[in-house]
Structure 1
Amino acid sequence: MLPTSDVVTRGSAAHHQALLSRLYVAHLREVWRWLSMFGVHDEDLEDAAHDVFVAAHRSLASFEGRSSHRTWLFSIARHVAIDLRRRAKVRREQGDEAPESPDHAPGPDRATEVQQARAILDGFLAQLTDEQRSTFLLYELGGYTGADIAELMEVPLQTVFSRLRRAREHVVEQSEKPFADGKKPQP
């Protein structure tokens, strides 16, 4: 017969596995969406989503229930995306990563324009705090309401709108800056 502690551990492990499976089914699509909004490239989404659920599995036993599972997964996804951006930046700085190119673009000129616009916006967003960037992306690109973002980020609604206002002001300021001296923005 197994010692009681082993039975509890095995029972907990089975419970955790069942819970993780339910979380995976319920939230995988949203995790992919969050990761995409946070700048994870399409070709990296599957691995990044996997990383989110591996991290969730590792920390499930320490989950205290102070937030919803959805909020907890959002936080993990945000950190996974931040880590991926940091690693990509290091690879670019070391010259190990080729510049991005769109996979399914209508034509070379349009693809270049889209790539440049994305690079400019990414540059503006990179200057924001992680909280401001997340709020901006969730609201402007993800279609989340302020209340949804407040719940996900576990902050007051006014904090969401303050971060959003600051992020918008920064993006507008940065986008107008190059035109003040008659120059076109560079990616």
Structure 2
Amino acid sequence: MNNEANVNEQEQATVENEQDLQQENAAPEAGANASDDHVEGAAEAEAAGNPELESLRAEAAEHQQRLLRVQADYDNFRRRTQKEKEELAKYASSKLISELLPVFDNFERALAAGVSEQNDPSSFVKGVEMIFRQFEGVLKAEGLTIMETVGQPFNPEYHQAIMTVEVDEYEEGIVVEELQKGYMLKDKVLRPAMVKVSG
């Protein structure tokens, strides 16, 4: 019986201790919340009574708005520039094609005239030669040049060797024959020349 009474007393003491601890823990939290509210209220009161702080806040808000406007302007500029680049890439060849249209027209006229009994074949050939010169002129104006290959030392940057041949008149490693012309566009190889090289 005494044992049961002791156990009950211990349980009662434990419950009371836990309640005391909960009350102690709750008290600082309540105090902290009250303290935070007090600090915020004091800050607001101080801001309301401090014109310099209000001025700084207004200036910060103005800078924020200005930053947002600059960001929007930059985004618009970037989109516009991207669109212009796409347009430029899409129609980059329009100038060259415009210059080639007269050549195309002349070829069409030559084919329509053809070679008949009334037309002299030599005049037809002369007409085609004139068109070729016109076409060549357009390409040269755009910076296209023909490579000089025969008699030049073989250079893999400019020449594509198809075969090597034994030739007495050239030293080894010299281009002896051109099978297909090579072209430069300004200072860049557009198409390497196809050549035979002395071995």
What TM-score, normalized by structure 2, do the two folds share?
A: 0.23
Q: Which has the higher helix share?
A: 1
User: Relative to total residues, which structure has the larger strand share, 1 or 2?
Assistant: 2
Q: Which has the larger radius of gyration?
A: 2
TM-score, length of structure 1 as denominator length: 0.24
